[in-house]
Amino acid sequence: MSLEGYVVDARDLSRGRTIALEATCVLEDFKTEYQHIQVFETRVFGKVLLLDGIVMLTEFDEFAYHEMIAHVPLFSHPDPRSVLIIGGGDGGAARESAKHPGVERIDVCEIDEKVIEVSKKHFPDVACGYDDPRVNVIVEDASEHIKEGKGGYDVIIVDSTDPVGPGEPLFKEEFYQHLHDSLTDDGIAVTQSESMFYDLELIKKMAGFNRRIFPIYSYYFCLIPTYPSGHIGFSYCSKRHGPKPPESIGISGLRYYNPEIHRSSFVLPEFAKERIE
């Protein structure tokens, strides 16, 4: 939503908190079959994409989120060749995955094709991953698509919205069981898993069923100023490989990820550690 010249993130308004970005113009504002899509130009953070009133990305800080959701699993796996991205219609996770030369196939399963179109139009530096010939777009409900593929992916990245509306099924135990079944024998899945400051009970619940499903589970996080509480977390779910950082990365131009950040992102503050671990 917007209010008196500001873009206001609607996700936490009912709980008495929000973030607000000063907007200079409206670039897109329309509803699809699935959600309300808006794009604003802001004074400080560049263009911002909202889905159902919730900030998905800004040009200012999207790199932090996309680098951490992609490179942590891709560097933890010894030889990732096939990648499935669930959600991620903006193309950022595909862009980062394509930086790994050993990856041979990147499938992006996005329920709303309009998100892809808007991202290509307004966020070309994010959506540039779609130009890579290894990227295949699947326009489908990921909670249904994941039931079909058994054991085919080395890495699955779930770049989802919050657990409301189209994103709600992606936070259920049944979905994570399908993730497990869709991975190779040594596969890794990483999923967007909310804020440990604001959503600790949800994270605790997810940690509980993920430890039953996967031999290896951990929660990690990254800093990103335009998300609620200034950070976002991820579930690391693996059949065999722990979240071990590489000795060197061999990729130039990264702005957030490095081996030290990889390692330290799994170190949790005590209040979260005692609830999650």
**Active-site residue set:** 159
Residue 262 amino acid letter? H
Please enumerate, as own/partner, the contacts of 206-211 that have beta carbons within 8 Å and a separation of 24 or more: 206/171, 206/176, 206/235, 207/235, 207/276, 207/277, 209/173, 209/176, 210/176, 210/235, 210/237
Residue 159 amino acid letter? D
Secondary-structure percent of the chain, ordered helix, strand, coil, rounded to 5: 35, 30, 35
Q: At what angle do helices 173-182 and 200-213 cross, to 10 degrees?
A: 40
Q: Please report, for residues 10, 177, 203, 230, the alpha-carbon distance to residue 18 in angstroms, rounded to integers and kept in the order given.
A: 7, 33, 20, 11
Q: Please report, for residues 5, 11, 121, 128, 242, the alpha-carbon distance to residue 116 in angstroms, rounded to integers and kept in the order given.
A: 26, 22, 9, 11, 32
Nearest to 103 by CA among 86, 126, 78, 66: 78
